Amino acid sequence: MSIKMTADDLRAFLQRDFTQVADDFEFVSVTEEHVIMALAASDQHLRPGGTVSGPSMFALADVCAYFCILSQLGPVALAVTTSCSIDFMRKPAPGLLLCRMELLKLGRALAVTEGRLYSDAAPDKPVARASLTYSIPPRG
């Protein structure tokens, strides 16, 4: 598959169409094989006990999956999550959280992704694994 949207294209799309969360996420890498995005987990992303909350990790995985799909599909704002499964494996500390997402299948109606989330403090130990499926609106 070839890239239809670069990191700059995706960043502009995020800024234009998702202003409410655009400042929360950063593009680290966009290649034909994967998209890596980062979330700077601060106080608003923490749960009691000082670890990054599940909803914050879900948000990073979901946004990263969305842009992984758009990088290959092009700007389709109405692609939506239809399924998500996350395995939380370790408690990430506050700081930079990274998600590396791969597109496993891009079909006419569905796209399937899989990724891993890592704490910048321990990049060799994933904190979560996520599988997401997106529904792609009819092109026409």
In the chain, how many domains are there?
Answer: 1
Write the pLDDT tens digit of every residue in 75-111: 988 899 999 999 999 989 888 999 999 999 999 999 9
Q: What is the number of other CB atoms lying within 10 angstroms of the CB of residue 15? A: 11
Predicted confidence at residue 140, as pLDDT, reads 64
Question: What is the rounded average pLDDT for all residues in the chain?
Answer: 93
Chain centroid to Cα 64, Å, comes to: 1
pTM above 0.85, yes or no: yes
Q: Is residue 140 part of a domain?
A: no
| Domain extent for 129 | 7-135
Residue 82 domain flag: yes
Q: Is the pLDDT of residue 11 over 90?
A: yes
Written as one string, the DSSP assignment of 7-59 is HHHHHHHHHHH-TTTGGGEEEEEE-SS-EEEEEEE-GGGB-TTSSB-HHHHHH
Sequence letter at residue 10: L
Whichever domain contains 92, its CATH number is 3.10.129.10
Neighbours of 19 (CB within 10 A): 9
